[in-house]
Structure 1
Amino acid sequence: MTTMAARIVHISIERDWREVYAFMADPQKMPLWASGLSSGLKRDGDEWIAPGPLGNARVRFAAHNEFGVVDHLVSLENGLTVHNALRVVPNGDGAEVMFTLLRQADMSDEQFAADAAWVEKDLAALKTIMEADDR
């Protein structure tokens, strides 16, 4: 059995974790903070279609749940499916958002670092939105 290198990218957000979860679990709101989905998602049955530079990706989200799990499977046209593990948990009166980044087999050190930086940027955008005064 082979495991991939992993990195947990996380951020603290000063807002109730349930509100953060509700926002994050809405696929129509993901393009507001997840820049890889900036062109938006279109529903297709139980999945969502995400147009991107590598073609259309099919995205399947975890069912709504009380545990803060926002996992999603992204299937690319080339056949690769990536499990994106995304969690929101209580952190005092706020939330901790954690993304588990798995290093794909063909990724260089530089690509893995760039992916981690991208996730950090997206989580920072989420924090900005969720902590805005006009919420």
Structure 2
Amino acid sequence: MVGILLLTHAPLGAAFLQAAAHVFRAMPERVEAIDVIADQNIDEVHALARAAVRRLNDGAGVLVITDVMGGTPSNCCRQLGEPHEVAVIAGISLPMLLRAITYRQDTLDVVVEMALAGAQSGAVRVDNRVRVAS
């Protein structure tokens, strides 16, 4: 089973895990969050992330999801493992996370594609501002 690591600015990762636990009615297995606090040492974050990847990888790989490209959490994603063992995507959303959890019995590449598809299809306009001409 593909492990999932949320590496985000505090307190996003923990909040996303709680939301996933609510949806699935239990905390999903092999999913962890590291919430990076302001001014946290980047070497410390990198060490925490490497340790989490080792814990989460049962041989199927680990998907690391971060919040925003270029921030400290995403900058700590470099060199977390071999490319076939660790995949990193940015722009976390709840639809992305739920889709990743749902499909993680598949290969790491499939989980990445499903997570990205969940993010894309999850962002929709829901108000009634579109009017039909009469």
Same fold (TM over 0.5): no
- The structure carrying a bigger helix percent of its residues is 2
Provide the TM-score with structure 2 as the length reference.
Answer: 0.31
Q: Larger relative contact order (C-alpha < 8 A, sep ≥ 6)?
A: 1
Which of these two proteins has the greater Rg computed from alpha carbons?
2
